[in-house]
Chain A
Amino acid sequence: MGEVHVAPTRRLKNILGLAAILALAGIALLPLIHITVTVIAQGASTIAKTGLLEFLTGTPHPMNPRNPGGIGPAIEGTLIILALSLCITIPIALNTSIFIAEFKGTPISRTALLLSLLLVEFPTILVGLYIYSTVVEPMHRFSLLAGALAVSIVMLPYMVVEMSEALKSIPRELREAAYSLGASRFKTVYRILLGAAKRGILAGVLLGAAKAVGETAPLLFTLYGAFNTYPHSILDPGAAVSLLIYEYAWQPTPGFRELAWGAALVLMAMVALLIAAARILAGRRVIY
């Protein structure tokens, strides 16, 4: 490279330019580092106050200055919503992405992919309003089911995009080999192709799960926020860890905010686990 012969002004420009780029990259990373450190520090201090087991399973007592209690109902709500929304979305996402990959190039396949890409970017609060008017109002109740439906709509397109990527990346030879052995289309897809793409598909599921755990806006008008009580059924009002952070972040009594920080740590740990697993499974950087 010709850097030895460049004029001093150009060299100066070079150094300044590179320094600016590095500085911007540093600024980009700073918030993340600060967020991670504070969530861990603040969250750990809350959990230490309460004790891990009680924090994960107890109910909140924000008015008790010595021990603010736990976020058990919120954690349970998040897990139930996660399980429900996975049950709802996995079959739909899987079959939609099979359609997109198998009939690649057809107008329907392209439209389906476009729709998923559009829905990925869709404002999630609107999904909350939509479920409020189509589920909560007619049923006359906030419920875990309503929350799970809202979350499902949010995570579905993510899973479709991720899974169809995985299915498309299967080498054509594999498919042709299957056909040449006389396998039917159905069998080829469900036995052989899904098997070959299973890591990518599972990564898609995990990414969707990470989305489900972290979402707040779709839950604002669907769940109610039952932070004190464990639900009897999925038709009961529920809570979620993300919602708890949102509702408690503004409260004046310090106990509420302590609980919010502890909840933030739990939430971050859940998401980090899911993303790390997805990364390992997919063996590549994952789109989020």
Chain B
Amino acid sequence: MAAGVIIAVAVIAVAAMLMPHGGGGGGGAPRTVILRGSGATFPMPALYKWIDVFTSEHPWIRIDYSDGGSGKGLSDILQHLVDFACSDPPLPRSIWEKYRGELLQFPDIAGAVVVVYNLPGLGNKTLVLSGKVLADIYLGKVRYWDDPEIAKLNPGIRLPHHEIIAVHRSDASGTTQIFTTFLSKADREWAEKVGYGKVVNWPVDKTGRGIGAEGNPGVAKAVMNTPYSIGYVEWAYALKNHMPYAAILNPLGEPVKPSVKSILEAVAYIKPLSPADDWSRNAQRAIYAPRKGAYPISSVSFMLVWKKMPSDKCKAMKLWLRFLAEESYKYIPEGYAPLPKSLREVILKASEMLECQG
């Protein structure tokens, strides 16, 4: 009996070990090195693409990425649970100070948060919205779609006298941080009453017209299912679900829709600092950037690595960063934008700054 069980366990174990192991393997090939990352959901589709290309060029390197939000990425890398982390916002200043010079951070891809809506009867027309209107909607002050504030921005569109349902994220998310940063920059009242962060207390919830939904897919679904609702999601999710999204007024007063060009225009406003610098203020420069043709809710997503790494992982990491700097921009999925050259050079710099130990 015991023998039977032992045999069974052994069979399972052997079966597990016999599974073909990708890469490395035979003869003189270098030992497989695994790099593990975790964090933001936002860059995941791009990462999967890059990993495919990169690991086929360097079969001895395998890369894994586990998404769970920017907060998870930062928490994991600070505890040395992963080799790299992705986070939509860079490190907050206080944490950057604590690990000054030990952690490197650099942008890896650009994107945009778009304002999606479900407005029956609108047809193909695109709504124009401003940061002030959006702040007032989420503050609970603008209650109906035909509010003069909205009507003023959309001459020629017949708006229904219907309550606006405002959808927002219920989980801690970088998307929320970007969106609320935009609202804080565009509207003083929002900045004073609510502020920005991965989780905020939404005033509109108290009016009963606010809805929380989990993740980008949750918000997209809630908006699609709720007539007269509005919400914010990453651009890629709006494209994937064929949802209409608004043109947003930038500080110059131009209504701009997200596009690779209008995102790049905004992102170019970010200064190429060193990977060891504090990026927390600098990264926000892309949001509501006062540049012609710049989409106002544009952002870059960040990657973080420890400066000192064990030698085998370090070599693989250098190659991986070099790939991100030099080739990743050729493989950009729909709904994202590549980094401008100035920011890609920051990645190259990070790759050079890595210190291999042992």
Contact = CB atoms under 8 A, between A and B. Distances in A.
Q: In the complex they form, do A and B come into direct contact, defined as C-beta atoms under 8 angstroms apart?
A: yes
Interface of A: 57, 59-64, 72, 75-76, 79-80, 82-83, 86-87, 90, 136-137, 140-142, 194-195, 198, 201-202, 205, 224-230, 232, 236-237, 247, 250-253
Given A63-B333, A224-B38, A224-B66, A140 B81 contact: yes
Nearest to B48: A63
Given A76-B19, A90-B5, A224-B66, A237 B217 contact: no
Given A224-B64, A228-B51, A252-B236, 18 more contacts: A62-B48, A63-B45, A72-B20, A72-B22, A76-B19, A83-B16, A136-B81, A140-B80, A194-B1, A201-B1, A224-B36, A226-B36, A232-B34, A237-B36, A237-B64, A250-B217, A251-B44, A252-B45
Interface in B58-76: 62-67
B34 A252 contact: no
Contact of A57 (B4, B20, B66, B220): B20
Contacts of B236: 252
B102 interface: no
Nearest to B32: A232
A225 B82 CA distance: 12
27 contacts: A62-B48, A63-B333, A64-B52, A72-B19, A72-B20, A75-B19, A79-B13, A79-B16, A80-B13, A83-B9, A140-B80, A142-B81, A194-B1, A224-B38, A224-B82, A226-B34, A226-B64, A228-B62, A228-B63, A230-B19, A230-B21, A230-B22, A230-B62, A232-B34, A250-B215, A252-B45, A252-B236
A195 B51 contact: no
Nearest to A228: B64
Contacts of A205: 5, 8
B19 A253 contact: no
Contacts of A228: 51, 62-65
A61 to B, nearest CB: 6
A250 B69 CA distance: 13
Nearest to B20: A57
B13 A195 contact: no
Contacts of A247: 66-67
Nearest to A142: B81
Given A198-B1, A226-B36, A253-B45, A137 B63 contact: no
Given A225-B66, A237-B64, A250-B215, A63 B52 contact: yes
Interface string B204-221: 000000000001110010
Contacts of B19: 57, 72, 75-76, 79, 230
Nearest to A61: B52
Nearest to A80: B16
B240 interface: yes
Interface residues of B, number: 43
Contacts of B4: 198, 202
Contacts of B8: 86, 205
The 9 closest A-B pairs by CB, nearest first: A198-B1, A79-B16, A229-B62, A225-B66, A83-B13, A226-B64, A83-B12, A230-B21, A228-B64
B81 A82 contact: no
Contacts of A80: 13, 16
A228 B67 CA distance: 13
Nearest to A243: B66
A127 to B, nearest CB: 19
A248 to B, nearest CB: 10
Contacts of A227: 64, 66
B79 A140 contact: yes
B95 interface: no
A75 B19 CA distance: 9
B12 A79 contact: yes
B237 interface: yes
B64 A252 contact: no
Nearest to B52: A61
Nearest to B2: A194
Nearest to B79: A140
Contact of A63 (B32, B49, B80, B215): B49
Contacts of B1: 194-195, 198, 201-202
A224 B81 contact: yes
Contacts of A76: 16, 19
B50 to A, nearest CB: 10
A202 B49 CA distance: 45
A232 B24 CA distance: 12
Interface string B129-152: 000000000000000000000000
